[in-house]
Amino acid sequence: MTGTATRTVPRPGVRWLRRALRNPTLIAGAVIMLVVLALAVFSPTPYDPFAQDLDHGLAPPSPAHWFGTDQLGRDILSRVVAATRTDLRIAVLAAVVPFVVGVAVGLVSGYAGGWLDWIVGRVVDTFVAFPFYVLVIVVVFAAGTGERGIYVAYALVGWISYARVIRAKTRSLCRQGWVEAAYGGGLSHTRVVGRHLLPNVLPQAVVLLMTEILLIMVAVVTLGYLGLGVQPPTPDWGTMISDGQLFLTTKWWVSTLPGLAVVTTGVGLSLLGDGLADVWRLR
């Protein structure tokens, strides 16, 4: 430490905040995500996203309709905003179970080692080798299109990304020796894992969570394109892009603007994740 004796050392929380505020990636990501979140929560739609106007379908962007109208005359700006809530909600909800399961499995597997670790490793490999879209398609065919399929499919396979990363991290932490010391000192397994290992792997997991939410969002949009996504008339970016595909060159606003919304949100999530990783000194 090079400070003079009279300089006070700020508390860790404040230190963190200062670092965070100095990181442009985190700022950019946080700003974008706050806007997106606000749109999702408050849904400030200029028109009712379900209100049809069959005589004014496919109207180009104008002062009355900033983003133009879709095939049924609905205001696209309103639908894009409303879809923010739908798609973000689905992505976040679908990410919860995999997060919990994946971190738990990763921690336990990395901590326990041995044959348990080996089995978990093989299970993870199996899921990696499993064609993901087969699973989603089968689930959607069986359970019907819409959100249910996505939740089930991701609950089944989404956890492996966390499991791999957290397991690796756990093992490297365990190698540092203090874990053994803690256990040797009388702490139970649960305490070691829960109170000592978990807080140390959580930052990594949260950063990964950002990426996973992004991937789920993209997957939901892709399912909409395949015709297996969110049910109409609920606005959803993927279905909007898919609906406008056929007139991409003549009525570009129908597909392109929801697409931009997807990209912007994705960039926000990505920047946020990168920023957090920077601040938490993970990279």
For other proteins, the binding residues (CB under 8 A) are 24-25, 27-28, 50, 52, 54-55, 57, 71-73, 121-123, 125-126, 128-135, 137-138, 140-142, 144-145, 214, 218, 221-222, 225-228, 231-233, 238-239, 241-243, 245-250, 252, 255-256, 259-260, 262-267, 269-271, 274, 283
Q: Structure tokens of 158?
A: 């989404």
Residue 93 or 137: the one with the smaller Cβ distance to other proteins is 137
Write the single-letter amino acid at 96: V
* Choice between 9 and 129, CB closer to other proteins: 129
Shortest distance, position 218 Cβ to other proteins, whole Å: 5
Quote the CA–CA distance of 157 and 128 in Å, as a whole number.
Answer: 9
Based on CB atoms, which residue is closest to other proteins, 106 or 193? 106
85 vs 164 by CB, closer to other proteins: 164
Bond from prior residue into 235 cis (ω within 30 degrees of 0): no
Q: Which residues have C-beta within 8 Å of that of residue 232, sequence separation ≥ 6?
A: 239
Distances (CA, A) of 140 to 96, 174, 220, 244: 20, 41, 12, 23
Residue 145 CB, shortest distance to other proteins, in Å, is 5
Which residues does 192 contact at the CB level (< 8 Å), separation at least 6?
Answer: 111, 179, 182, 183
Quote the least distance from Cβ 93 to other proteins, whole Å.
20
Per DSSP, the three-state class of 69 is strand
Q: Least distance from C-beta 143 to other proteins, angstroms?
A: 9
CB closer to other proteins out of 127 and 183:
127
- State how far Cα 260 lies from the chain centre: 17
**Nearest approach, Cβ of residue 99 and other proteins (Å):** 19
Q: How many CB atoms lie within 10 A of CB 135?
A: 17
Q: In angstroms, rounded to a whole number, what is the distance separating the alpha carbons of residues 278 and 275?
A: 5
Shortest separation between residue 232's beta carbon and other proteins, angstroms: 5
Nearer to other proteins, 150 or 214 (CB): 214
